[in-house]
Amino acid sequence: MNSTQLSQLAVHALEEMKGQDIVCLNVQELTQITDYMVIVTGTSTTHLRSLAEELTRQVKEAGQAILGDEGRDSAEWILVDLGGVVVHIMLARTRALYSLEDLWNFGSKPGEVPVPPAVKDED
């Protein structure tokens, strides 16, 4: 599974769990750390944990590895590292404070951050 497909899987998992304001940033030209950053808002610390758990479940079910997982204890900002995709699951106040979209979205106009289009399997 390539990083575009993995980002789509992540977005889909977060949508299923009613994640809010999901944004997927293509950062391939900005960093070597990852290809995509997915940012999502949850309504409560319980919701954040549920989003992270469902994301983790679906990624593992797809046969992909979870490289890192941080913040579940404090649960104001949970980071799930999937390698080619890094997912930030945040409370609204935390997301507003750090404004990751503004930090990483140099190539798009504000509010124009599309989710990558579906890619057909090339297996």
Read off the pLDDT of each residue in 88-102 and give the average, rounded to a whole number.
89
CB atoms within 10 A of CB 97: 11
Please choose, from the candidates 4, 6, 14, the residue with its C-alpha nearest in 3D space to the C-alpha of residue 66. Answer: 6
Rounded Cα distance between 16 and 57, Å, is 12
Q: Is residue 111 in some structural domain?
A: no
Q: Is residue 121 in some structural domain?
A: no
Rounded Cα distance between 27 and 4, Å, is 12
**Is the per-residue pLDDT at 87 higher than 60?**
yes
Q: Is residue 80 in some structural domain?
A: yes
Query: Between the CA atoms of 55, 79, 69 and 14, what dihedral angle is there, to the nearest 10 degrees?
Result: 0
Q: Is residue 19 in some structural domain?
A: yes
Rounded Cα distance between 21 and 76, Å, is 16
Q: pLDDT (tens digit, 9 = 90+) per residue, 30-51?
A: 778 889 999 999 999 999 999 9
Q: Is residue 122 in some structural domain?
A: no
Q: Is residue 112 in some structural domain?
A: no
Domain count, the chain: 1
Q: Is residue 89 in some structural domain?
A: yes
Rounded Cα distance between 10 and 54, Å, is 9
Q: Which of 64-73, 77-86, 90-99, 106-115 has the lowest mean pLDDT?
A: 106-115
Domain harbouring 13, CATH code: 3.30.460.10
**Is the per-residue pLDDT at 105 higher than 80?**
no
Q: Which of 7-16, 56-65, 93-102 has the lowest mean pLDDT?
A: 93-102
pTM (whole model) above 0.85 = no
Q: Are 27 and 37 in contact (CB under 8 A)?
A: yes
Residue of higher predicted confidence among 29 and 83: 83
Q: Is residue 118 in some structural domain?
A: no
Domain span at residue 100? 3-104
